[in-house]
Amino acid sequence: MTGRRRRYKRGYPLAVLVGLEERRAVLWRVFSEVVKLDDTVERGREAEREGLYDFHESIVNALRPTLKEGVKSIVIAAPARTDYAASFLDHIRKHHAWLVREGPNAATFGELIGSAGELHEVHELVRTKGFREAIGETTSHDAENIVSTLEKSLDSDDSSTVVSYSLEEIEDLVYGRHKESDRRAEHVVLTDKYLADTKNRGRTLKLMQISKNIGIKTTIVNAETRAGLRLSQLGGLVCFSKPNRKKRK
Residue 229 φ then ψ, to 5°: -65, -40
Question: Which of 106-120, 126-140, 235-249 bottoms out in mean pLDDT, i.e. has the lowest?
Answer: 235-249
Residue 6 scores a pLDDT above 70: no
Residue 109 φ then ψ, to 5°: -105, 135
* Residue 180: predicted pLDDT: 55
pTM confidence score? 0.76
Question: Which of 73-82, 132-141, 197-206 bottoms out in mean pLDDT, i.e. has the lowest?
Answer: 132-141
CA distance 240 to 149: 9
Contact 231, 173 (CB under 8 A): no
The identity of residue 246, as a single letter, is K
Residues in CB range of 144: below 8 A, 6 or more apart: 226, 227
Question: Model confidence over 159-178: pLDDT tens digits?
Answer: 688 899 999 999 999 998 76
HSE-CB at 176 with a 13 A cutoff on CA atoms is: 8
* Residue 51: predicted pLDDT: 77
| Domains of the chain listed by start with CATH number | 13-138 (3.30.420.60), 160-243 (3.30.1330.30)
* Residue 50: predicted pLDDT: 54
Residue 248 scores a pLDDT above 50: no
Q: How distant, in Å, are the alpha carbons of 19, 44, 114, 122, 223 from that of 167? A: 38, 48, 42, 37, 18
CA distance 240 to 160: 10
Question: Model confidence over 96-124: pLDDT tens digits?
Answer: 998 988 766 789 999 999 999 999 999 99
